[in-house]
Amino acid sequence: MADETVFEVDDAVVLLLGAGSGGREQKAQIKGITRLEKLVFLLERETDAGKILTEDPQFKAYNFGPFSQKVYQAVDKLVAAGLLTDSKRLSRSSEDSWEAASLLGVDDVYTDFSTRDFELTDVGREYYGALTEELPNAVVRQAAELRNRFSGWRLRDLVRYVYERYDQFTEKSLIRDDILGKGR
């Protein structure tokens, strides 16, 4: 990566979406804003990508663990640029029931609520290809490994992993006891 190359939070989102997606037969998609945010957090903390980020994601302890307003801004920027689609749809999956009860405070597990799934557009895939040409091979490989490892996990398990490894980001969490058990 040349010294003048910029690698910002929006690039990290594109890298995670495209990483490990292979060809067109596998969607360059991540389901859920919470999952995307935790994956960006782990990309920064557990791969060499954190060393080359030129923009600080500014993760802080918040209601559901590590939170970065910059991830939300990056998604909006990428959607506006036509690189990413954001489903913003109603959902009723069993995993979403946990999210509704724990993250949104909704007791009725049959209540509809909004979920956001993200997918690279054709232009986004082209950008991903150009981005990977500029980044060190190790970063691209590590991003694919991270995505392949965690993107299939249930959200609750992913949040637990983050909470167990990064306890300092759980101090303001509203769901800490539910995730880790009382007294931890």
What digits encode the pLDDT tens for the residues 94-104? 444 454 455 44
Greatest C-alpha distance within the chain: 52
pTM of the model: 0.83
State the Cα angle at 48 between 47 and 49, rounded to 5°. 90
Q: What is the DSSP letter of 92?
A: -
Query: Per-residue confidence at 78, pLDDT binned at 50, 70, 90?
Result: very high
Q: How far apart are CA 45 and CA 165, in angstroms?
A: 10
Q: How far apart are CA 112 and CA 89, in angstroms?
A: 10
pLDDT of res. 154: 92
Query: Bigger pLDDT: 124 or 4?
Result: 124
Q: How far apart are CA 137 and CA 102, in angstroms?
A: 38
Task: Identify the CA nearest to 150 among candidates 57, 49, 63, 32.
Answer: 32
